[in-house]
A and B are shown apart, each in its own frame.
Chain A
Amino acid sequence: MMYRTQKIMCILALLVLVPGTSWGAMKLTVSREDNSYEDKWSPGTADENQRVLINKIDCSENILVYLEVEEIPSNSDRELYLFAGDDCGQTDSDSCVWIATLESNAGYSDFYVYKERFRGLIEGEEAGVETCNLDTTIKVWAGFLEDNSADATGDWSNAVEFDMDMASPDTPTGLKPAPGEANVVLDWDMEGVDDTTEGDAGTGSSGSGDQYIVIYMEASGGAAQVDGGTDGDAGSDTDTDTDTGDMDAGADAGDAGGQDTDSSDEAIPDAGNNVPGWRLYGATEGSEECPSSEGFQAGDEYVPGSYSENTSSITEAKIGNLTNGTTYRFAVIAVDEHKNFSPVSEVVCAIPNETVDFFEAYAGAGGAGGKFCFVATAAFGSYDHPTVKVLRHFRDKFLEPLPGGQALVAAYYDLGPAAASVVEDAETLRGVTRGALILFAGMTRPLSALGPKGAAGVGLLALGAVAFGIVITRRRKTRG
């Protein structure tokens, strides 16, 4: 097996020095500073319990974690060191191993630790072992000591846990799409078993997902494939991938980015992109039919739709903004807490379509229900007369949003036809009604423009101004 060139793992410690004062116990925390090294991964994230979550991709790539040490005592004879072990700083510190040193006179604030040093801690110093352990928690401590031995005199911080999970969650199954109007509702089963004993990398399963991502695309017309790297080998699983930005799907843990000789496809995130933009590669050609087992086809371009929740119990998603009559493919990927991704689920197809709601069915069968501006239409002779339009605008923008506004409008529609029939038949009355409505429409224009909230605000301001004026006037009279 060929090994990729291992890159140096950098742990950047930001020191907050408090000169001349000893504050007591040092504090080690995971800082959420942005990664300033653009070509390096920042693994998962530190969760709210100050655990650094490392997944299988992190383990095989670079890790950059910001660790912040606070309340460092003042002592010129000591240096700050990082150690890893179960119980550093205690009487029995045999298991503690030095990781890195930050010298106070170094002139720089970050330092490098060889990856082999860290991996040796994980794998027990086994030579040639490249895979990461599936289920390990490493504790990292900061020690402000006389030298870099774990039993040296000095002060110790609390521990920060590096929690590792190399196993993918189970693949979602039982996808069932239900078409709607310009949308599809997808639900699926997640029968993952709570995994307490994880096997080897790439073969174990970490159970159900912590969240889910739905990927979908139009079923016909695959676009040109998009390659995140520079070697142009997207879609090919046989050549060596040497650029840092490209990952080949189909890799199991350990050879991501390297030569991919296995046939199973697996979706993994694109390096350097915090948003999981999926690029799926496979060996089969594109097909216009809904694939039943081959998954999304090589070269297909897709819309990276995503739906995620914080609980694995949510196994339903509504994908909107689709085009009616177009066939779409859907698949689901489970993601666990450590951002390990499951293989892509089976692919299902669905066609969003126009739907018929109850009122459309009722009106289509001959039922009535629509209402018009009866009185104004009768007076002006046309539903589209400009004044009638102003009154309709007033109804929509001012009256209906009011509390009880809809009831008021509905009451008008109920009584309006009777009044309209009277107006329609009398020419003189029509003229009078037209004049009154033109005047009323003029008054409604500013109200329609402001809307109920705006009108209320202006009203309150006006009221406040009047009240202020009254107060001022009365004060002047009193003084006078």
Chain B
Amino acid sequence: MNRLFFCIFSALLLLPAVGQAYIPSPQYGAFELKLGPYKPAVDDNKRLNGATPYQDTFGDDAMFLTTLELDWQFWHPPGFSLGIGGSAGFMQAYAKAKIADDEGAATDESSADYTVLNVIPFALLAVIRIDVLADELHVPLVPFFKAGLNWYLWWVLGAGGNTASAEVVDDTTGDTKTINGKGGTLGWQLNTGLMFRLDELDRMSARTFDNEVGANHSYLFAELVWAWVDRFGKDEYLNLSTDTFAGATVLFGVCVEF
């Protein structure tokens, strides 16, 4: 009897851990790739006095923004993920430059030359993700909120592909000066959105993904962005605030938490 008990006990020890509970890997952060339209509110600058140089040059079409974001999730209280993220992206608008009239002003006639506005937006954000629905109730939806500062690096290319410049009259001295078509505009932004956790579609694959690569969760998401990029209301800077859909823009992307 003792021998039988010993054999059974040993066999149980040697068997693989069938039905063992899944232990996810530690979660440190998230990586996002997101895309979407972006139309800057350049023409809202009060110094333009109603002129619309952006609209006149590039028309109504929005630029196409591609952004990468990396978040460090430093705290995981129950139902939440809190972190700090940094992002960088790129967008570009290009169009045919206009033929100048005798006074140097733009006519309606398009030339053969292209003019290009290049923008690299940077952002530093505080990020809150609400995981309770997905973690506790297995409802694969994760709302999130972000807020932070941004800084948009921009430069304009003119005829010949060189950085543009313009001759203007200095307001204080009355002298003619050359200003360069490049710079950076500081601002701030608020983001919110909803993520769809793909793990729920195939939990076994998601666990395998975590075991082999360390990816805790993967998502598809949509994100609304309100960006005020005008140096906190200063007219001396190129206004690159969002103006795609009534002051906001929407981006779509994929996210992996690891």
A residues contacting B by CB (< 8 A) are 178-185, 318, 353-371, 406-407, 410-411, 413-414
Q: How far is the CB of B1 from chain A (nearest CB, A)?
A: 76
Counting chain B CB atoms within 10 Å of each CB, the highest count among A185, A367, A368, A407 belongs to A367
Residues of B with C-beta under 8 A to A367: 42, 45, 47-48, 53, 238
Tell whether A178 pairs with B112 under 8 Å between CB atoms, given A358-B164, A359-B156, A371-B180.
yes
Complex CA gap A414/B238 in Å reads: 12
Per the bound structure, the CA–CA distance linking A361 and B181 in Å amounts to 11
* Given A355-B159, A410-B153, residue A370 in contact with residue B99 (CB < 8 A): no
A359–B158 touching, CB < 8 Å: yes
Among B49, B100, B179, the residue within 8 A (CB) of A356 is B100
User: In the complex, A365→B49 CA distance in Å?
Assistant: 8
Q: Which residues of A contact B185 (CB under 8 A)?
A: 414
Neighbour of B115 across the interface among A354, A358, A413, CB < 8 A: A358
Asked, given contacts A355-B159, A369-B180, A411-B184, whether A361 binds B112 with beta carbons under 8 Å apart, the answer is: no
Interface footprint category on B: 35 or more
**A365 touching B48, Cβ below 8 Å:** yes
A-side contacts of B116, CB under 8 Å? 358
Residues in A with CB closer than 8 Å to B110 are 178
Q: Is B258 an interface residue (CB 8 A)?
A: no
Chain B residues with CB under 8 Å of A361's CB are 53, 56-57, 98, 106
Take A318-B112, A363-B168 as given contacts and tell me if A179 and B158 are in contact as well, using a CB distance cutoff of 8 Å.
Answer: no
Residues in B lying within 8 Å of A, measured CB to CB: 42, 45, 47-49, 51, 53-54, 56-58, 93, 95, 97-100, 104-106, 110-113, 115-117, 120, 151, 153, 155-160, 164-166, 168, 177-186, 231, 235-238
Contact A354 to B100, CB < 8 A, known contacts A359-B165, A368-B236: yes
B179 to chain A: closest residue by CB? A370
25 contacts between A and B (CB under 8 A): A181-B111, A181-B113, A181-B160, A183-B113, A184-B112, A355-B99, A355-B159, A356-B97, A356-B106, A357-B156, A357-B159, A357-B181, A358-B93, A358-B117, A359-B115, A363-B181, A364-B105, A365-B48, A366-B45, A367-B53, A368-B47, A369-B183, A370-B179, A410-B184, A413-B183
Kindly provide the distance from the CB of B167 to the nearest chain A CB, expressed in whole angstroms.
Answer: 8
CB contact between B155 and one of A178, A179, A366, A406 (< 8 Å): that residue? A406
Q: Is the interface of B mostly helix, strand, loop or mixed?
A: strand
Residues of B within 8 A of A370 (CB): 165-166, 168, 177-180
Contact between B181 and A369, CB atoms less than 8 A apart: yes
Chain B residues lying within 8 Å of A353, measured Cβ to Cβ, are 99-100, 111
- Extra A-B contacts (6), CB below 8 Å, given A180-B97, A357-B57: A355-B111, A355-B158, A359-B115, A363-B168, A367-B238, A369-B179
Find B112's partner among A180, A358, A364, A371 (CB 8 Å cutoff): A180
Pick from B48, B100, B151, B186: contact of A366, CB below 8 A.
B48
Q: Report chain B residues within 8 Å CB of A366.
A: 45, 47-49, 51
Q: By the criterion CB–CB under 8 Å, are B111 and A360 in contact?
A: no
Complex: chain A residue closest to B120, CB-CB: A407
| Separation of A369 and B165 alpha carbons in the complex (Å) | 9
A183 to B47, CA, bound (A): 33
**Assembled-state Cα–Cα distance A20/B178 (Å):** 80
Q: Which of B110, B111, B158, B185 has the most CB of A within 10 A?
A: B111
- Closest chain A residue to B52 by CB distance? A365
Q: How far is the CA of A368 from the CA of B180 in the complex (A)?
A: 9
Instruction: List the B side residues contacting A181 at CB < 8 Å.
Output: 97, 111, 113, 159-160
Contact of B184 among A182, A356, A360, A414 (CB under 8 A): A414
